[in-house]
Structure 1
Amino acid sequence: MNSASQDPKDPSQDAEAQPSEKDETFNTDVSETDEEGTTVREAEVRKDDLSEVKSGDNK
């Protein structure tokens, strides 16, 4: 009887219920590793999915 559309934890429903929360961000440290080693930098990420917020300031 449980369907995904009735699940209260469905992300699409949550985003519609609280649209302002989708825009909440915070700063955190991001580590990136490649053949030269590991680099740690600060990045602004979205609270809901931890995706990085792209800034237009970087040229």
Structure 2
Amino acid sequence: MSTAPNKPDAQDESAASDVTFTTDISENDDEGTSVRQAEVRTDDLSETKQTEGDANS
């Protein structure tokens, strides 16, 4: 008798993508390098939300 491999529930996958942490992001432009803090997802390091300063650029 064989058993199916364990598969994580869909809820577990979505919960994992909700785990975030705050890190420093450095950005280069014509004026030099600036550093800002951003909240990113642990699974893919994408930002969870844009800051107000970024929305205007």
- Residue number in structure 1 paired with 2:4: none
Q: Tell me by how many angstroms 1:15 deviates.
A: 8.4
What is the aligned-residue RMSD (CA, Å)? 2.6
TM-score for the superposition, normalised by structure 1? 0.62
Tell me the secondary structure at the aligned position of residue 18 of structure 1.
helix
Q: Matches of residues 1-59 of structure 1 in structure 2 within 5 Å?
A: 16=10, 18-54=13-49, 58=52
Q: Which runs of 5+ in 2 are unaligned?
A: 1-6
Q: Which runs of 5+ in 1 are unaligned?
A: 1-12
Q: Number of residues paired by the alignment?
A: 46
Q: Tell me by how many angstroms 1:32 deviates.
A: 0.3
TM-score for the superposition, normalised by structure 2? 0.64
Q: Tell me by how many angstroms 1:14 deviates.
A: 6.8
Q: Which runs of 4+ in 1 moved over 6 A?
A: none
Asked if the contact 1:15–1:22 (Cα under 8 Å) also holds between the matched residues in 2, the reply is: no
